[in-house]
Amino acid sequence: MNETKLERQINFVLEIDKLKEVMRRSYLISGKRKENSAEHSWHVTVMAMILADHFAKEIDLLKVFKMLLIHDIIEIDAGDTYVYDAESRKDKYQREKSAAQRIFGLLPQEQNNELCKLWEEFEKRETAESRFAATMDRIMPLLHNYHTKGKSWQEHGVARDQVVELFEPIKAYSEEMWNFASKIIQDSVSKGYLAR
């Protein structure tokens, strides 16, 4: 029996509830527990809405919001890949692409195509929208680490150079956001939150 468009859409909505169970390495700012990927997606989307005027280029905010809301859905299958774990990043793209095909494939073809295209655009970082979205996605865990006194960084032995390398591309996207991140990184080192 063929599913109706509505049934496919509802099945997708039910499937993405699993994102609430995918735990990240970042702690909530309270430090009481780690955040889940659904919380991260919501929080980073709101941050993008608030900080959009600090990005150098004219951007389609609706597109950015869509990217940020869907970019981690693939973690339902692929899991959260810790950004500082070089070994698990080796096959990250392939794991996530397979996950995107399965999960977005639950939707009717037109929506499947749209979400796959948005996910790919986010991953490639070639458009102003994807670069802004990626910048927000990097800034949020930085804020979490700073406000928990480097809790996650310290648990995983992350050093200053690793964080700087992760943020280096932001320089070309938004000098203001790069300067902001640099100050937080330097202050984190001076306060002992982040290893030298």
Q: Please identify which residue in the block is written with the tokens 């680490």.
A: 145
Residue 70 has pLDDT above 90, yes or no: yes
pLDDT at 50: 96
Structure tokens belonging to residue 71? 């970019």
Structure tokens belonging to residue 130? 């994807």
Nearest partner of 129 among 180, 49, 61, 69, judged by Cα: 61
pLDDT at 2: 82
* DSSP state letter for 3: P
Residue 90 has pLDDT above 90, yes or no: no
pLDDT at 83: 85
Could you confirm whether domain 5-190 is CATH 1.10.3720.10? no
CB-based contacts of 85: which residues, under 8 Å, 6+ apart?
156
Structure tokens belonging to residue 126? 């070639």
Residue 88 has pLDDT above 90, yes or no: no
156: helix, coil or strand?
coil
Q: What angle do CA 159, 161, 164 make, to 5 degrees?
A: 115
CB-based contacts of 13: which residues, under 8 Å, 6+ apart?
none
pTM of the model: 0.93
Instruction: For the chain, give the mean pLDDT.
Output: 94
Amino acid at 175: E
Q: Please identify which residue in the block is written with the tokens 């032995």.
A: 157
Rg of the chain (C-alpha set): 17
Beta bridge partners of 36: 23
Cα–Cα distance measured from residue 36 to residue 33, given in angstroms and rounded to the nearest whole number: 9
Q: What angle do CA 151, 153, 159 make, to 5 degrees?
A: 145
* DSSP state letter for 34: E
Confidence of residue 89 (pLDDT cuts 50, 70, 90): confident
Helices (H), 16-74: 37-51, 61-70
